[in-house]
Amino acid sequence: MMDGKEDERDIEIEGMIIANEESLERYRSGSAEDKDLLRQPLLKNMRTNNTSQLAIVGANVCPIESLDYEIIENDLFKQDWRSRTKVEIFQYVVLKWTLALLIGLGTGLVGFFNNLAVENIAGFKLLFTNSLMLREKYYHAFAAYAGCNMALAIAAAALCAYVAPAAAGSGIPEVKAYLNGVDAPSILAPKTLFVKIFGSIFGVAGGFVVGKEGPMVHTGSCIAFLLGQGGSRKYRLTWKWLRYFKNDRDRRDLITCGAAAGVAAAFRAPVGGVLFALEEAASWWRSALLWRTFFTTAVVAVVLRGFIDFCHGGKCGLFGEGGLIMFDVNSAKPTYSTPDLLAVILLGVIGGIFGSLYNYLVDKVLRTYSIINERGPILKIVLVVAISLLTSCCSYGLPWLSQCIPCPADLGDPCPTVGRSGNYKNFLCPPNHYNDLASLFLTTNDDAIRNLFSSGSDKEFQLTTLLTFFVAIYGLGIITYGIAIPSGLFIPVILAGASYGRLVGTFLGSFSYLDTGLFAILGAASFLGGTMRMTVSICVILLELTNDLLMLPLVMLVLLISKTVADCFNKGVYDQIVKLKGLPYLEAHAEPYMRNLVASDVVSGPLVTFSGVEKVGNILRVLKITKHNGFPVIDEPPFSAAPQLCGLVLRSHLLVLLKGKKFTKQRVRDASDIMRRFKANDFAKPGSGKGIQLGNLDIKEEEMEMYVDLHPITNTSPHTVVETMSLAKAAILFRELGLRHLLVVPKTLERPPIVGILTRHDLMPEHILGLYPQFDPHRKKP
């Protein structure tokens, strides 16, 4: 009798899958019967999630799964926690802080190495070009300049195209999605870290209009991910302490620290790094994490300070002349009146408009580049070479259109500047004259920003120069992002914003008390607010960059205005990129139409459950014909008086249990034997590997008829919601708790003990609006 019931159950599972596909086709055909689904409670869970569970990582389309931040409270976990001594708990706490220290040290070292390499490579290139121009070998100078840029561009593109495609781009959208619970493959792998570091150096030194800030966030996250692997059996790093971190929850905290450390290393802004992680990167936060993140960024600041002090006096080549503050403009004291506030409001409006337009154009360019990039590595490199050549032509050619300007009479610095850095580039000008456009183009991005932020000289740059530079940087920044190199968005946005800010300041010079350098800072803030849509973190980063606390009220005002204006048109640039890549990111707020639905309206099927003591063959069959990562466990007679929900068991835990082969011939509970055979660490999340796969199992024919007790590995306290809870409330609960599965239970006792399971993909707007197109605000009405 028992075998007959189990055969019927196998047939039922396969029949549910077929029936589900048929019902989906009927729903798409739009029959009147199916259109009544909204008004009927979903008692039989027969829908599949027909949204794409694939996303673009680099230029590759990869399957996407969710991370599991929930504490799996099964019997093995409880036994492990009960058996931990005070010494082991102390070890766990000490190791968390030790890893935070190591993340700060590693990210600080990489940040220093990045700056050192960029300054020396770019400095050698510019000095060589300048020496050829002084000998009037202009064609040779362009060939040398463009050739160096192209060689560096090819090196960066080859690394991204052949070694680690996931390293291309900023990396912030991927880190943001990971901290939201999206497990995208390869985004934090060792090869991605290697390519991110060297690809960013080659790209920035190669003259592209890109920054190293976004890649540094990705780099810090990769370092944190590698340190938080919990050991590695492959490399025999199996120290007992490391096993504490074999879970997604602790890795999430470490990666949050790594993202903050990346910002601190890139901008030398430790407090700004903490706020960036809080405002933009992390989807989940707590006070203990704030302490560790702040400690990590403080370590980064100390490391950078030590190496910068060491490099003073030319010990590190062309690097080390600056301090911890990158753009010190504290010499200009901001005194402002009502007309100045009106000018600041104007800058905020301009920044919001330009920022939203920038995001719109970046989105269009990324869609175009994705068509090119998917055709293979060769076309990726060709596209990078084309953009490199165009950038070199603009940087070398546009200064020829600018007129020479006499050097200021009361200038303390040499004019024209001899060598690489400085505001006053010679570029074919007679003695005591300089080319202001060359001072912005033929220099590193950091020096260009420093020149635009400089105070005390309102007529240092002509209006036509600032306009030309703004148009060129705005266009080059848009077409450069999306090619196969690591590329940050912060620096292009700061350059463009500072140029039009200084342009407005120069134009309003006779009406305003503010220095043009301060206008440049406000312009950069307005453009950052219009593109990134961050406020608090950008405000603090800019204050740490410029060491000008007196600008705080004006920076706050311009950020609030620019963000408000830009929000009227589209989303922030990182949110757009996350959506474009297809990463299933859960927003912090629910859509309005979700309040018209309840949790049971969107659960997808087929719903497959296991008994508390299940037949091995049934488990193996279900694992083969489904891709679910969690299965409800139902206790049935004789183990309970009536069918009741025991909990949830994970696919990965089932695979470990089956590989251990602790089976019984009779259908009886065998928890004590399993508890002796396994430890909680056996079911921990694997490190860089994929863990046990279905193909690794070797189940014999006679074992297929045996039974296994699932109670010891079942999470007996999964998060559940009643089927009548509004979908909006369920979605917010799902995100705030960092869940992978949310069980939907019936409201009445007469029903089966579970209605369905909500997963991340069930809460995506594409899935919900596919089921209920009448709620789609963009759907054309018949």
- Residues 734 and 599: their CA atoms lie apart, in Å, by 11
Write down the pLDDT at residue 607.
85
CB 645 within 8 A of CB 717: no
Name the pairing type of β-strands 60-63 and 54-57.
Answer: antiparallel
699-758: pLDDT as tens digits: 888 889 999 999 999 999 999 999 999 999 999 999 999 999 999 999 988 888 999 999
Total count of residues recorded for the chain: 782
The residues facing 405 across adjacent strands are 434
d(CA 357, CA 565): 11
Distance of alpha carbon 108 from alpha carbon 265, whole angstroms: 6
Residue 647 has φ and ψ, to the nearest 5°, of: 160, -150
Q: Residue 501: which of 522, 480, 486 has the closest Cα? A: 522
| Tokens linked to 454 | 């400089």
Please give the angle made by the CA atoms of 362, 486 and 479, to the nearest 5 degrees.
Answer: 30
3-state SS of 244-296? HHCCHHHHHHHHHHHHHHHHHHHHCCHHHHHHHHHHHHCCCCCHHHHHHHHHH
Which alpha helices (H) appear in 490-615, and where do they start and end?
A: 490-507, 516-532, 536-546, 552-567, 573-581
pLDDT digits (tens, 9 = 90+) for 640-656: 888 899 999 999 999 99
Task: Looking at mean pLDDT, say which of 323-332, 409-418, 647-656 comes out highest.
Answer: 647-656
- Look at the block and give the residue holding tokens 């309003």: 508
**According to the 3-state scheme, what is the secondary structure of 172-239?**
HHHHHHHHHCEECCCCCCHHHHHHHHHHHHHHHHCCCCCECHHHHHHHHHHHHHHHCCCCECCCCECC
Query: Which amino acid is located at 752 in the chain?
Result: P
CB contact at 8 A, 214 and 259: no
Mean pLDDT, residues 25-44: 37
Cα distance between residue 488 and residue 198, in whole Å: 14
Residue 25 has pLDDT above 70, yes or no: no
pLDDT attached to residue 309: 84
pLDDT of residue 322: 58
Cα–Cα distance for residue pair 165/122, rounded to 1 Å: 25
Please report the pLDDT score of residue 775 as a whole number.
87
The string over 230-255, giving b where at least 16 C-beta atoms fall within 10 Å of a residue's C-beta and e elsewhere, is bbeeeeeeeeeebbbbbbbebbbbbb
pLDDT at 241 over 70: no
pLDDT in tens, 608-626: 999 999 999 999 999 999 8
The 10s digit of each residue's pLDDT in 518-573 is: 899 999 999 999 999 999 999 999 999 888 888 889 999 999 999 999 999 999 99
Phi, psi of 112 (to 5 degrees): -65, -45
For position 36, what pLDDT does the model report? 39
In the three-class reduction of DSSP (H, G, I as helix; E, B as strand; rest coil), residue 9 is classed as: helix
**pLDDT higher than 60, residue 5:** no
- CA 222 remoteness from chain centre: 11
Residue 721 and residue 631 in contact, taking contact as beta carbons nearer than 8 Å: no
* Structure-block tokens of residue 137: 């070998």
- Separation between Cα atoms, residue 60 and residue 484, nearest integer Å: 12
The per-residue pLDDT for range 252-277, each reduced to its tens digit, is 999 999 999 999 999 999 999 999 99
Residue indicated by tokens 């635009």 = 452
Model confidence at 150: pLDDT above 90: yes
**Bridge pairing between strands 742-745 and 720-722:** parallel
E strand segments, 322-475: 404-406, 433-435
- CA 725, distance to chain mean position in Å, is 31
User: What percentage of the chain exceeds 90 in pLDDT?
Assistant: 54
pLDDT (0 to 100) of residue 315: 78
Other beta carbons less than 10 A from residue 31's beta carbon: 10
Check pLDDT > 50 for residue 16: no
pLDDT at 30: 43
Under the banding of pLDDT at 50, 70 and 90, the label for residue 240 is low
Q: How confident is the model at residue 638 (pLDDT cuts 50, 70, 90)?
A: confident
User: How far apart are alpha carbons 605 and 204 in whole angstroms?
Assistant: 49
List the single range of 394-403, 459-468, 668-677 with lowest mean pLDDT: 668-677
Residues 6+ apart with CB under 8 A from 6: 615, 617, 618
Nearest CA among 38, 8, 181, 44 for reference residue 603: 44
pLDDT of residue 679: 85
Euclidean distance between CA atoms 477 and 729, whole angstroms: 40
Which residue, among 520, 522, 713, 503, has the nearest Cα to 619 in the 3D structure?
Answer: 713
| 20 contacts 48 by C-beta, under 8 angstroms | yes
Say yes or no to pLDDT of 20 above 80.
no
Q: Which residue has the higher pLDDT, 176 or 409?
A: 176
Q: What's the pLDDT band for 421 if we cut at 50, 70, 90?
A: low
Chain-wide mean pLDDT for the chain?
86
Give the residue carrying structure tokens 């960013």. Answer: 200
Mean pLDDT along residues 477-481: 96
Mean pLDDT of 677-695: 79
Contact 414, 232 (CB under 8 A): no
Pick the most confident of 384-393, 582-591, 760-769: 384-393
Per-residue confidence band for 446, with pLDDT thresholds at 50, 70 and 90:
confident
Ranges 146-160, 402-416, 431-445, most confident: 146-160
6 has pLDDT over 60: no
DSSP track, 104-122: HHHHHHHHHHHHHHHHHHH
Give the CA distances from residue 338 to residues 343, 511, 560, in Å, rounded to whole numbers and listed in that order. Answer: 9, 11, 18
**By mean pLDDT, which of 35-39, 125-129, 602-606 is the weakest?**
35-39
pLDDT category of residue 28 using cuts at 50, 70 and 90: very low
Q: How many CB atoms lie within 10 A of CB 286?
A: 9
Q: Which pLDDT band, with edges at 50, 70 and 90, does 479 fall under? A: very high
Grade residue 29 by pLDDT with cuts at 50, 70 and 90.
very low
pLDDT-derived band at 682 (thresholds 50, 70, 90) equals confident
Least confident of 8-12, 572-576, 721-725: 8-12
Distances 558 to 22, 511, 574 between C-alpha atoms, Å: 55, 19, 20
What is the residue-wise DSSP string for 685-753? PPSSS----GGG----TGGGGSEEE-GGGSBSS--EEETTSBHHHHHHHHHHHT-S-EEEE-SSTTS-S
**Cα torsion angle, 128, 132, 134, 139, sign:** negative
Q: Quick one: CA torsion of 185, 187, 176, 259, rounded to 10 degrees? A: 140
Q: Is the pLDDT of residue 100 over 50?
A: yes
The pLDDT value recorded for residue 515 is: 84
Q: Which two tokens stand for residue 369?
A: 């580049």
pLDDT above 70 for 10: no
Higher pLDDT, 213 or 8: 213
